[in-house]
Structure 1
Amino acid sequence: MLLLLLGIIVLHVTVLVLLFVSTIVSQWLVKGEYAADLWQNCTTGNVFQCLASSSNEWLQSVQAMMILSVIFSVLSLFLFFCQLFTLTKGGRFYITGVFQILAGLCVMSGAAIFTVRHTDWHQASENTSYGFAYILAWLAFPLALASGIIYVILRKRE
């Protein structure tokens, strides 16, 4: 049981790190010396220069979804530790699982909106590619969903 709990905590912390990195790092869209993310657009030529991102409604939606996913995942981890000590034997971690599934759905929604609408923000070209932060966001989605499902299935033992 201890090994199972350790594995679940490691999975949850991994999801949390992926969510934090994908939300903070400026690598959602990359084109040569230019990188854009949810918060700023940076150019790394002779001088490193960053400008504030656009205020499009869809970009604000992506920002909100990513922030909500981080909040739900942190809340889920906190609730897991609370339930670990207060839940009766045989009880399930439903609340923890629901919040982790919500975190997964929020990150999926944010990444999907960005995928569909990023061409409204930057013109598509053959040199433009998705950055590693964007890929980490998509990687966090199935891991958060799996973690949430594990929490829902998990029963507390002594």
Structure 2
Amino acid sequence: MLLLLLGIVFLHVAALVLLFVSTIVSVWRQNGSYTADLWQNCSITGGACLTGSTDVWIQTVQALMILSIIFSFLALILFFCQLFTLQKGGRFFLTGTFQILASLFVMSGAIIYTVMSPQWASPKDSFGYSYILAWVAFPLALISGLIYVILRKRE
């Protein structure tokens, strides 16, 4: 049972770390000479960074990514609280709901970025590793959320 709990916590923390990295690091879109993310656009050769776009869609992606981090962090705290307060046989519905919401937020943010970014980006640009990490964090958060919903507390 302890091994199962450690695996679930590890999966949750892995998804949370991926959400942090994908939101903070400046490589959602890259080219040979610059990188762009949710917050700023940086030149690789000159090292200068400019404030990113202020369009409504990018602000929506920023908000969704921040919400996904908040909900995933709250789900982790709720899991530990429920682990000690939930009665025997109870399920971790609240924890699972928060984690599933976090996964839906990151999925929505990545979809909006995918659909809207070609309007302002060059055709030679490619998606960076932060964008890919966001897509990897989505199924990890969804799977851990579903595990929480299925999981029952045992003595």
TM-score (norm 2): 0.98
1:41 is aligned to 41
1:37-86 deviation per Cα after TM superposition (whole angstroms, max 9, x unaligned): 000000011x2010000100000000000000000000000000000000
Answering whether residue 138 of structure 2 is matched by residue 141 of structure 1, we say: yes
Q: How many residues align?
A: 155
**Structure 2: 5+ residue stretches without partners:** none
Q: How far apart, CA to CA, are the structure 1 residues paired with 2:60 and 2:120?
A: 14
The answer to whether residue 11 in structure 2 is matched with residue 11 in structure 1 is yes
Following superposition, the deviation at residue 121 of structure 1 comes to: 2.4
Partner residue, 1:22: 22
C-alpha displacement of 1:95: 0.1
Deviation at 1:119, TM superposition (A): 1.4
> Is 1:107–2:106 an aligned residue pair?
yes
Match of 2:70 in 1: 71
Query: Cα offset for 1:25?
Result: 0.3
Cα RMSD (Å) of the superposition?
Answer: 0.6
| Counterpart-to-counterpart distance in 2, 1:136 and 1:91 | 33
Q: 3-state DSSP class of the match of 1:41?
A: strand
* Percent identical residues: 67
- Structure 1 residue runs of 5 or longer lacking an equivalent are none
* Ranges of 4+ aligned residues in structure 1 off by more than 4 Å: none
The AA in structure 1 aligned to 2:142 is L
Whether 1:131 and 2:128 are equivalent positions in the alignment is yes
Cα shift at 1:120: 2.0
User: Which residue number corresponds to residue 32 of structure 1?
Assistant: 32
1:21 corresponds to which letter in structure 2? V
